Each structure stands twice: as structure tokens, then as C-alpha cells.
Amino acid sequence: MKRLMRRRSEAQAAGEVAAAAAVAMPMADPDPTAAAFFDVDNTMMRGASIYHFARGLASRGLFTTKDLVKFAVGQVIFRVRGDENPEHIAEARETALAFVAGSKVEDIVRLGEEIYDEAMADRIWAGTRALAQGHLDAGQRVWLVTATPVELARVIAQRLGLTGALGTVSETVDGVYTGRLVGDLLHGPAKAEAVRALARREGLDLTRCSAYSDSANDLPLLSLVGHPTAINPDSELREHARENKWEIRDFRTGRKATMIGVPIAAGAGAVAGGVAAAIALRRHYRST
């Protein structure tokens, strides 16, 4: 019980921090009380955004192949089991910090813009992008909500012409990352807390709001709004959506992902990393 209460407190703190860091883009003729919230990985984009960012860093000599494989394994484990195991959450937190510690914020933003244009833009699901545009056309604000570092999440939101992004917030001093998080990873219940805090700040009516995700990890977020939709759902979310008569959209034409969290590979190097991640994950489960 104490652990559960602590996790709820941490989630609330992470959500409030993410909401406080959110900056909205101006829009004409807004619908002031409605908004849409989109998860990023496998919902708005094929694969994991932070993994594609890591590959971009590797191609620039800023990240080794060994680091990339290790990172991929960590992302898969966190995606599949991280919401249940505090040790996995701690590992994911350390991985996130390793990306930015000692780096200038402006450099990370610049690299994020370059890598998005090179490696992420063509991975956006056209169907999900159309859903987001529909909300914008209706005058509603559209926010990304993701465990990805908020700076990268903002780049994605800006490139897509969305309102803004809620993401994991890292501490900075004089424009340099310290290697510590402000709050915690924006994952699971923390996403719902972030949206709840943003709704208070922006005067949103959550019963009029929409949310989109592929993962059962985001059930707290999807259950918070009046119009939840499962996008490319994992098996648990698909079952929950059917039971609760939520809308389901699947844009994975001709492909059924056996493990939704594994990044979609492109190129021999990425394929090797994906295979290594799967092997390592299987070994991990056998040893536990």
C-alpha cells in the first residue's frame, strides 16, 4: 500500500511538472474547452521516437552501436514491464538522463530538429495525423503526451503543427542538462496527472476532450477523457476498448506487431539492433 501511494504521488508530481513546462502555440477561433491528447510512440509515429533519436546520434558518432543495442533493450523492457517494476522504471530513468547529461539544451533541440527531418517525418502514421488535423480544424488544441524528453516532443509537435507537447522534464542549469529529472518519467498514471493539471490551467472540460494511444499503459489517460480511442492497440488495450465500446483504429496495414514496443527497423544496422533487443529480452525473461 505504501509503495502504491508513493507511486501515485510520484505520478502526480511528474504530471504537474510536465503541465507546468507545456507551452501552447497560438491558434485562431479556438474551441476553449476541448482538446485532444495523442501518445507518440506507435500511436502518432511508427516505433519509438527516442530510439530514432538515438540512431540519429549514433550516425553522428555521438552514440555507439553497443549503446544503441543496450538502449533498445531497455526501451523494450520498459515498454512491456516498466509500469509494474520499480527497478525497470529506475533503469529507464537512468537511460533518459544519459542522453542529455552535460549537453546544452539548444544543442539537443537542434539535433532533434535535424533527426526528426531525417528519420522521423516519414514514420508518422498518416491516419493518426489526419485525426489530429481534424481536431485542429475544429478549433481544438492538440497536445502530444509522451515519456520522451519534452524538448524532442516539442520538436515533433512543432513539425506537425500541433499545439504543444507534454513530456519528461529534465533539470537544467544555465542552459545545460544536469542529469537529473524534474519530477519523474511521464509514463502511465503520470500522463493522466499531466493532462489533469493542464486541463485545470487551460480551463478544459475533460468530458469534451479526446485521447489516443496504442498501449494499455495509457489506460489512466484514456479513461480520463470523454472520447478515448485505441490506435494500433496492444492486445490488452484492444480487449479493454472492446469491452468499453471505445473506438479502435488500426493503421498497421498488412502487419500485426507481436511486440508493439520494439522499434520498427530500417536498414541493416537497425535490424541487427532490433534482433539483439529481442534476444536480450527473451534471455531477460528466462532469467527472471
As annotated, the active-site residues are: 39, 41
DSSP state of 43: T
- CA distance linking residue 132 with residue 66, whole number of Å: 36
Grid coordinates belonging to 122: 516519414
Beta bridge partners of 176: 104, 173
Q: Starting at the edge strand that comes first in sequence, how are the strands of the sheet with 35-38 ordered? A: 164-168, 141-149, 35-38, 210-213, 227-231, 247-249
Cα torsion 216, 56, 89, 199 to 10°: value is -60
CA-nearest of 227, 233, 228 to 249 is 233
Spatial distance between the Cα atoms of 192 and 218, rounded to a whole number of angstroms: 8
Pairing of strands 210-213, 227-231: parallel
Radius of gyration in angstroms for the set of CA atoms belonging to the chain, rounded to a whole number: 18
In which element (H, E) is residue 145 found? strand 141-149
Contact assessment for residue 79 and residue 260, using Cβ atoms and an 8 Å cutoff: yes
Give which of 246, 235, 41 is closest to 148, Cα–Cα: 41
State how far the Cα of 55 lies from the Cα of 34, in Å rounded to an integer: 36
| Alpha-carbon gap, residue 228 to 215, rounded angstroms | 12
**Any idea which residue has 527473451 for its cell?**
282
Q: Which of 183, 198, 189 is nearest to 17 (CA)?
A: 183
